[in-house]
Amino acid sequence: MSANAEMNRYWNEASGPRWVEFQHWIDRQIEPLGARALERARLGPGERVLDVGCGCGATALAAARAVGPEGSVTGIDLSLPMLTRARERAAEASLANLEFLHADAQTATLAKGFDVVFSRFGVMFFEDPVRAFENLRRSLVARGRLVFVCWQALARNAWMRVPLEALASVLPLAPPASPTAPGPFAFADDARVRGILEQAGFGEIAFESVQEVLPIGPDDLEGSVRFALAIGPAGAALRDSPEAAARRHEIESALREALRPYWGPRGVTLASASWIVTARSGG
Ligand SMILES: C[S@@+](CC[C@H](N)C(=O)[O-])C[C@H]1O[C@@H](n2cnc3c(N)ncnc32)[C@H](O)[C@@H]1O
125 in contact with ligand 1, CB cutoff 6 A: yes
Torsion angles phi and psi, residue 218, rounded to 5: -60, 165
Calculate ∠ Cα 173-162-266, nearest 5°: 150
Report the distance separating Cα 238 and Cα 235, nearest Å: 5
* Cα 114 to ligand 1 centre (Å): 19
Residues above pLDDT 90, as percent of the chain? 81
Report the distance separating Cα 85 and Cα 70, nearest Å: 24
Residue 11 CA: which ligand 1 atom is closest?
A: 25
Alpha helices by DSSP H, listed for the chain, are: 5-9, 16-21, 23-41, 58-67, 80-92, 129-138, 158-168, 190-199, 221-230, 232-240, 242-246, 248-259
Q: Which of the 8 DSSP states describes residue 10?
A: I
Model pLDDT, residue 260: 97
Report the distance separating Cα 8 and Cα 79, nearest Å: 7
Q: Are 139 and 170 in contact, with CB atoms under 8 Å apart?
A: no
In the chain the domains, ranked by start, together with CATH numbers, are 5-154+177-215+273-281 (3.40.50.150)
Q: Are 49 and 74 in contact, with CB atoms under 8 Å apart?
A: yes
* Per-residue pLDDT reduced to its tens digit, 137-177: 999 999 999 999 999 999 999 999 999 999 999 988 877 77
Calculate ∠ Cα 185-167-5, nearest 5°: 45
Q: Quick check: 116 pLDDT over 70?
A: yes
Q: Measuring from atom 2 of ligand 1, which residue has the nearest CA?
A: 122
Q: Measuring from atom 13 of ligand 1, which residue has the nearest CA?
A: 53
122 in contact with ligand 1, CB cutoff 6 A: yes
105 in contact with ligand 1, CB cutoff 6 A: yes
10 in contact with ligand 1, CB cutoff 6 A: no
As a dihedral over the C-alpha atoms of residue 181, residue 161, residue 244, residue 4, rounded to 10 degrees, the angle is -20
* Cα 22 to ligand 1 centre (Å): 15
Report the distance separating Cα 104 and Cα 5, nearest Å: 10
Q: Is 36 exposed, middle or buried (0-12, 13-18, 19+ CB in 10 A)?
A: middle
Coil/strand/helix, residue 277: strand
Q: Measuring from atom 14 of ligand 1, which residue has the nearest CA?
A: 53
Sign of CA dihedral 282, 42, 140, 71: negative
* Cα 122 to ligand 1 centre (Å): 4
104 in contact with ligand 1, CB cutoff 6 A: yes
* Per-residue pLDDT reduced to its tens digit, 217-245: 998 999 999 999 888 778 888 888 888 88
Average pLDDT over residues 233-261: 89
* Cα 120 to ligand 1 centre (Å): 8
* Reported confidence tier of residue 283, pLDDT bands at 50, 70, 90: low
Residue 126 CA: which ligand 1 atom is closest?
A: 19
Q: Quick check: 1 pLDDT over 60?
A: no
Q: Quick check: 253 pLDDT over 90?
A: yes
7 in contact with ligand 1, CB cutoff 6 A: yes
